[in-house]
Amino acid sequence: MSQTLSSLPAADGFRMPGEWDDHAGCFLVWPERTDNWRDGAKPAQRVWRQLIETIATAEPVTVLVSHRQYQNARGQLPPHVRLVETTTNDAWVRDTGPTFVRDGDGAVRGVSWRFNAWGGLRGGLYFPWDADDLVGPKVCDLERVPVYQPDLVLEGGSIDVDGEGTVLTTEECLLNPNRNPDLTREQIESLLHAHLGTTKVIWLPRGVHLDETDGHVDNMARFAAPGVVMLTWTDDESDPQHARSAEALAVLEAATDAQGRPLRVVKLAQPGPLHMTEEEAAGIDVVPGSQPREAGERLAGSYVNSYVGNGIVVLPVFDDPNDAAAVAAYEELFPDRRILTVPGREILLGGGNVHCITQQVPSGR
């Protein structure tokens, strides 16, 4: 069992590295909820298999899977992918798993935030979420690293760091009263710095239009390198996303990072807009306590929601006219990495994308 620490990461000399730093591996959770993944989760599992095989070409992959799905997942996944039987509520390991931090000597530790399914009883997306709230400590056990367990409700997709002192987030999510209603903005900033080893927060007002996570930043804007931010964008002023992206752009262009550098912003045109079809909605089980899925509802599609791995970037694509431009932008942003694509629609139907269902473990000693 991992040692639970009572100190603070920053005080112990630890910080969260940028995602582009070397990884020791990547975690995912095998999908199976039929009230979130259509047609018995089989279409989603096919995409998971492709994503897992892609990441596993570059770094070790561990997949958490229930006892019900263990044999199915083992039969679908390559033998070099590690499977661990684990109880979870759903497959969003970015949000339920730990955030890893590392010190100057290469020691790695985990930060296991509290999880309440994106809002608890005030707008959360499913109930119960108790198994997902334990994923963080369980992953730290598997990695044999000590764990910090702050009394802060936070999902990994709600933050993004440059590894050099700056953290990016949204007011829409972190200041939402359904997360930490008793904490002020200043108290939340202090907790972020204490656990991520950062010194500056850049607050964007909102995330992607109709993002059911209450505006996670990893779907809206992320660091591609220190001083470089990629931003979901649309030129269509009649689209509700335009105002959100424009206000984020204004904040980013006026900001400097923790090192005092201005930010270069790279706009990534959104796919679509995309909407759920009648066939897709009809394939999802209707269960009390879960997020309803209805035909015609707009999906929060974004090319920002990618995974940066060892020598690769895995980018979701949507059979959309903007796919090619997104790939080209990534090739410029990450010239030293192979840009690999996976179909993003099935993941998007469940409420997120590639970044939301992956969690990197930084390399260490």
CA-CA-CA-CA torsion for 124, 223, 357, 97, nearest 10 degrees?
A: -70
Q: Is the separation of the CB atoms in 211 and 221 below 8 Å?
A: no
Structure tokens given for 318: 């949507």
Over the chain (365 residues), the average pLDDT of each successive run of 10 is 92 98 98 97 98 98 98 98 98 98 98 97 92 98 97 98 98 97 97 98 98 97 98 98 98 98 98 97 89 91 98 98 98 98 98 98 92
Instruction: Locate 25 and state its tokens.
Output: 């591996």
Residue 289 confidence (pLDDT): 76
* CB-based contact 23:307 (threshold 8 Å): no
Q: Beta strand 99-103 with 82-85: parallel, antiparallel or unpaired?
A: unpaired
- Quick one: which H or E segment has residue 54? helix 42-55
Choosing from 26, 140, 173, 356, the catalytic residue is: 356
CA 28 – CA 352 distance, rounded (Å): 14
Going from the C-alpha of 115 to that of each of 59, 134, 154, 193, 258, the distances in angstroms are: 27, 9, 6, 19, 28
The answer to whether 140 is a known catalytic residue is no
CA distances for 289 relative to 94, 115, 120, 123, 125, angstroms: 22, 16, 11, 10, 8
- What is the pTM assigned to this prediction? 0.97
Q: Which two tokens stand for residue 82?
A: 């590690």
How is residue 124 written in tokens?
A: 């959360």
Distance CA 189, CA 203 (A): 10
Cβ atoms within 10 A of the Cβ of 246, count?
12
What count of Cα atoms within 13 Å lies in the side-chain half-sphere of residue 176? Answer: 26
Question: What is the reported pLDDT for 291?
Answer: 79
pLDDT score recorded for residue 44: 98
Q: Is 112 helix (H, G, I), strand (E, B) or coil?
A: coil
Among 31, 118, 35, 30, which Cα is nearest to 300's?
118
CB 145 within 8 A of CB 361: no
Q: How far apart are the first and last CA of the chain?
A: 19
* Amino acid symbol at 255: A
Torsion (CA) 344, 346, 349, 354 in degrees, nearest 10: -40
Residue 353 sits at the vertex; the CA angle it makes with 116 and 361, to the nearest 5 degrees, is 75
In the sheet where 82-85 sits, what is the strand order?
A: 82-85, 61-65, 23-29, 359-362
Distance of alpha carbon 254 from alpha carbon 229, whole angstroms? 13
- The rounded distance, in Å, linking the Cα atoms of 18 and 76 is 31
**Can you read off the two tokens belonging to residue 310?**
């060892």
